Amino acid sequence: MQQHVIASSSPNPRPRARDLSAEEIAEIEHELTLYPTKQAVGLEALKIVQRHQGWVSDESMLAIADYLSVPVSELEGVATFFNLIYRRPVGEKVILFCDSVSCWIMGCDKVKAQLSAHLGIDYGETTADGEYTLIPVPCLGDCDKAPVMMVGEAMHRHLCVDTIASVLPLKNVRGDK
Amino acid sequence: MTDRPLTKNIDLARGALNLTDYEAAGGYAGARAIANGLEPSDVLERVKNSGLKGRGGAGFPTGLKWSFVPKSDDATIQRYLVVNADEMEPGTFKDRMLMEGDPHLLIEGMIIAAYTIQASRAFIFLRGEYFDAERSLAKAIAEARESGHLGRDIFGTGFDFDIVLHTSAGRYICGEETALLNALEGKRANPRAKPPFPQVSGLWGKPTIVNNVETLCNLPGILAHGVEWYQSLGSGGDFGTKLFGVSGRVKNPGCWELPFGVSIREVIEGYGGGMQEGFTLKAFLPGGGSTDFLTPAHLDTPLTYAAIGELGSRLATGTMILLDDKTCPIGMIGNLMKFFAHESCGFCTPCRDGLPWVDTIFRDLETGKGSFKDIDILKDHVEYLGPGRTFCALAPGATAPLGSGLTLFAEEFAAHVSGAKCPYH
């Protein structure tokens, strides 16, 4: 099989495709039965690998492109188009913090400031213990319960400054040994 | 017969009805009406006569949209039904309720739509963040398959039909139906040139109908209870019911199924309980982030596509976002502009370059660095980004709150410049 090589600024200057795991391959194969083209499974394959690996590394990107026989440039174009495909490592859980209009009206900026102080991270950063990555997300569609955020797959609603810290327990963040 | 055909089964505290309970509550009667001898052309006629309009935002007549699928008895021609479940319009939270609360209603609506256009396969394009809806739909689809409601020869009609649940990964532009089709094909979700329209050449070049979740959920009632019943539900030229929502500083924010023609006041003050103590209503967006501001002077307007259109705004998603007197209007519009700038697909220049410029100006205004020249540049962008200047409707949508806001809040814009700060801080 042809091995794609792409330029990268990572310590490994010429990443090579990693081997997809048996589980990843089985899940991708299932998706291939649902769509008439291999290309259509690109996003699904990225999500499958991300579910297993936590994020999509260059090595994973190359492996998926090879497996689906699609140009890696096109797959990268899809990966970087979507908000929820992570091309850098993230924490155990990603916090998707809604900063859209209804949550903004209901005071999400103050809640976010409190959350950032509690976790010691701003948008795009990961806590020292590797537990949480904080990312802003467009409207989560739960506007009658604003402000809201999603941690992993769980919604947290009616957030407020006083209680936000209790929603997310900390392990070893910020010198809290 | 119910007057809440969309939500009669929904009790979010209890959870969604399973297949058995859904059928016990009268479910799949619409699909059985097909089994009792309705031809696809009969269903199309009924849906046309019902006056059902698309609930995704544009309000296009559903029957008319379906009728553009080329007629052919050739069953070997693949046709597709695609459900637009990529709910991401700011301030919109209605399809979530339907999918989490009554997934079999959507599946039944899909069966009716697919049978009408003779599409043997459907894709539900679900927002990636809607994990609860994904679980609810996956369970319901499995139940429907198990019972033979999906699969080969469904309901003894000789019609084969199955559903693929596709979860996306977060991108507002996928709500644009041709961008959605590109995403389903595994490409970047840039919108396509039209024509050809998806009804003729859509998913993988095949005839394709894309319908919103709420639109499809109207179909079981129309087939089960008839056109006359359906039309008796609305008033003011629109028929049936609609999910209307309110978010912002009201006492009881929420989403309710109400007949078309109900007044804005009844929704905000009645169902929403009015403004919270210490807040008064300053203005509101009537149907999500891409609609023009209305004011308290418009509260007695009936909620119909025509009446809201006459005010220069749009009913769109029917979920209202309220601006109160303690919240900065410039901040609210700036928040929307940040959203639209972030979600531009980047394909056409006015949208890709114009929206970030607008976003930057709003940040400057908020921090006291704005000038009167900036306000003129914003006014120019209402035209530069308006209808006809861009490849799709994203940027024109952004100009709705921007243009109406510049007029309505001219004093507040000026105060941000002359005071060199946000007067609300």
Query: Binding-site residues of A for [2Fe-2S] cluster, please?
Result: 98, 103, 139, 143
Residue A79 has pLDDT above 80, yes or no: yes
B247 DSSP β-pair partners: B321
Percent of chain A with pLDDT over 90: 84
Topology of domain A1-87, CATH: Arc Repressor Mutant, subunit A (1.10.10)
Q: Does B343 touch chain A (CB under 8 A)?
A: yes
**pLDDT for the residue A176:** 41
Q: What's the pLDDT band for A11 if we cut at 50, 70, 90?
A: low
Q: Which chain A residues are Cβ-neighbours of B339 within 8 angstroms?
A: 100-101, 138-139
Q: What is the pLDDT of residue A6?
A: 54
Global confidence as pTM: 0.95
Q: What average pLDDT does chain A have?
A: 91
| CA-based nearest distance A70→chain B, Å | 10
Give the whole-angstrom CA distance, residue B75 versus residue B78: 7
Backbone angles phi, psi at B250, to 5 degrees: -100, 165
Phi-psi region for residue A22, left (φ > 0), alpha (ψ -120 to 50) or beta? alpha
Give the gap in angstroms from C-alpha B277 to the nearest C-alpha of chain A.
14
> Which of A20, A23, A33, A10 lies closest to A61, judged by CA?
A20
Whether residue A44 and residue B128 make contact (CB cut-off 8 A), yes or no, is no
Weakly modelled stretches of chain B, pLDDT under 70 = none
- A44–B246 CB contact, under 8 Å: no
Residue B2 confidence (pLDDT): 87
Please name which of B196, B202, B44 lies closest in space to residue B123, comparing C-alpha atoms: B202
Q: Identify the pLDDT of residue B235.
A: 86
- Residue ranges covered by each domain of chain B: 19-232, 241-324, 329-418
**How much of chain A is in helix, strand and coil states, percent to nearest 5?**
40, 10, 45
Indicate the range of A51-55, A107-111, B56-60, B374-378 predicted with least confidence: B56-60
Q: Taking 80 as the threshold, does the pLDDT of residue A42 lie above it?
A: yes
Give the model's confidence band at A14: pLDDT under 50 very low, under 70 low, under 90 confident, else very high. confident
Cβ contacts of A41 on chain B, cutoff 8 Å: 186
pLDDT tens, position by position, B72-131: 777 788 999 999 999 999 999 999 999 999 999 999 999 999 999 999 999 999 999 999
DSSP structural state of residue B266: I
Nearest by CB: A82 against B171, B185, B245: B171
Q: Which amino acid is at B353?
A: D
Task: Provide the 8-state DSSP code for A86.
Answer: -
Hey, is the C-beta of B335 within 8 angstroms of any chain A C-beta?
A: yes
Kindly report the CATH class assigned to B19-232: alpha beta
Which residues lie closer than 8 Å to B399 by C-beta, 6 or more apart? B381, B382, B385, B386
- Of all residues in chain A, the percent with pLDDT exceeding 70 is 89
Taking CA atoms, B139 is separated from B29, B30, B228, B344, in Å, by 20, 21, 34, 34
List the beta bridge partners of residue A133: A94, A126
Please report the number of interchain residue pairs, chain A to chain B, with beta-carbon separation below 8 angstroms.
Answer: 131
State which fold the B241-324 domain adopts: Ubiquitin-like (UB roll) (3.10.20)
pLDDT of amino acid B58: 86
Alpha helices in B155-304 (DSSP H): 177-184, 213-217, 219-225, 227-232, 264-265
Instruction: Give the pLDDT score at A3.
Output: 52
Interface check B182 vs A, CB under 8 A = no
Give the chain B residue nearest A98 (alpha carbons).
Answer: B90
- 3-class state of residue B286 by DSSP: strand
Q: Where are the domains of chain A?
A: 1-87, 93-175
Please return the burial class of B20, using the count of CB atoms within 10 Å of its CB with bins 0-12, 13-18 and 19+.
Answer: exposed
Q: B329-418 — its CATH code?
A: 1.20.1440.230
For residue A104, the chain B residues in CB contact (below 8 A) are: 331-332, 335
The Cα B213–Cα B82 span in angstroms is 10
Report ipTM (2 d.p.).
Answer: 0.96
How far B343 CA sits from the closest chain A CA (Å)?
A: 9
Q: Helix and strand tally (H, E) in chain B? A: 18, 8
Number of H helices, E strands in chain A: 7, 4
**Is pLDDT above 60 for A10?**
no
Q: Measured between CB atoms, does B282 come within 8 Å of chain A?
A: no
Searching chain B, which residue's CA lies closest to the CA of residue A151? B129
Q: How confident is the model at residue A175 (pLDDT cuts 50, 70, 90)?
A: very low
**Superfamily of the domain at A93-175:** Glutaredoxin (3.40.30.10)
